[in-house]
Amino acid sequence: MPNTPCGMKSIYDCKLIEQHEVSPGVWLSKLTGPEIARGAVAGQFVNVQVAKTTDPLLRRPFSLHAVDREKGTFSLLYVLVGRGTALLHRYVSGDIISVVGPLGNGFDLGDSPDAEHIVVAGGCGAAPLHFLCDSLCEKWGCEKVTVLVGGKSKDALLCEDEFREHGVLTEAATDDASYGYGGFVTQLLQAHLDKRSDASNLRIYSCGPHGMMREVARICSEHEVQSCQVSLENKMACGIGVCTGCIQKIKKQSQGCDPAWEYKRVCADGPVFEAENIIWE
Ligand SMILES: Cc1cc2nc3c(=O)[nH]c(=O)nc-3n(C[C@H](O)[C@H](O)[C@H](O)COP(=O)(O)OP(=O)(O)OC[C@H]3O[C@@H](n4cnc5c(N)ncnc54)[C@H](O)[C@@H]3O)c2cc1C
Ligand code: FES
């Protein structure tokens, strides 16, 4: 597999092994990419050239959903939302796809064996959290991990079976009450945390719609959890920290007349941030 240096990043020609629809409008792709699979940590993403031509010019970012380090493969889970994803889903097995990555920082899994971990997934936010779940189980044991997975309806729940197959306690929430807890996954999180007198050994990880993560951040702050990390999916252009197209306001220690915030690049400084540092707008 040829590989071309691109500054500090690398572009890889990855062979599509298989690609299929896992639920209406949601696709799973499996690709070869030993360097990506072996170098990646949960929460990182790749930037994919969705067509063989230069139109569209910009690559599209997708989280790593799983990696198999031994086989040198990785997978992506994506929703068809526009032209880029429509082009991506037309690739067939054996096609070569240009991929840049792994990019971004990834989740911090902590260093305390006493900590418990709650993963809160909304819609396609389940993609990076699936990889995270693997990593948490490997590092701390699945019995330390709980997954709360939410969607608009039963059909819109992603990775629920896979989370259960990991052996982690998994609870589902649907907005329309068609399955599991009837309500938002954030309400399910609230109920979990309300049951505890002390949440200081809890580490929370979340990815999903912006409003959902903002609510996760609020609940975690109210309960003073040990750590609450969210993976942002701001729109991106270059994906490698050059264009500042993906910036996010992040709190910082104010000095003199300096504002108490600064812009961080989601692609290079994130996509994972401590939720308490984000200025939610
Ligand atoms: C770090 C990162 C990781 C991501 N991981 C995944 C993933 O694992 N699976 C997945 O399905 N998607 C993921 N996304 C979102 C994905 O990149 C976009 O859905 C995709 O680029 C849309 O391309 P498109 O050409 O099909 O749609 P476009 O034609 O570009 O847009 C179609 C619609 O989608 C909206 N949209 C585009 N980009 C985003 C975005 N970043 N966030 C919210 N809405 C957007 C547009 O506003 C528009 O309404 C991720 C984004 C980032 C930044
Ligand atoms: S997308 Fe260009 S700096 Fe982040």
Structure tokens that stand for 102 in this block: 């792994």
Give me the chain's average pLDDT, please: 94
Pocket test for ligand 2, best of 233, 246, 248 (most atoms within 8 A of CB): 246
Q: Verify cis geometry, omega within 30 degrees of 0, for the bond prior to 5.
A: no
Whose Cα sits closest to atom 5 in ligand 1? 62
Q: Domain 3-103 falls in which CATH fold? A: Elongation Factor Tu (Ef-tu); domain 3 (2.40.30)
Lowest mean pLDDT among 5-14, 78-87, 108-117, 245-254: 5-14
Q: Where are the domains of the chain?
A: 3-103, 116-231
C-alpha to C-alpha distance for 197 and 180, rounded to whole angstroms: 25
pLDDT at 8 exceeding the cut of 60? no
Share of the chain above pLDDT 70, in %: 97
Among 110, 100, 165, 103, residue whose Cα is nearest residue 128: 103
Q: What is the mean pLDDT of residues 110-126?
A: 96
Tens-place pLDDT, residues 158-185: 999 999 998 899 999 999 999 999 999 9
- pLDDT for position 166: 86
Pocket flag, ligand 1, residue 211 (CB < 6 Å):
no
- pLDDT for position 9: 62
Least distant ligand from the CA of 232: 1
Q: What is the mean pLDDT of residues 140-161?
A: 95
Give every CB contact of residue 125 below 8 A, 6+ residues apart in sequence. 206, 207, 208, 209, 212, 213, 231, 233
Q: Which CATH number fits domain 116-231: 3.30.70.120, 3.40.50.2030, 3.40.1190.20, 3.40.50.80?
A: 3.40.50.80
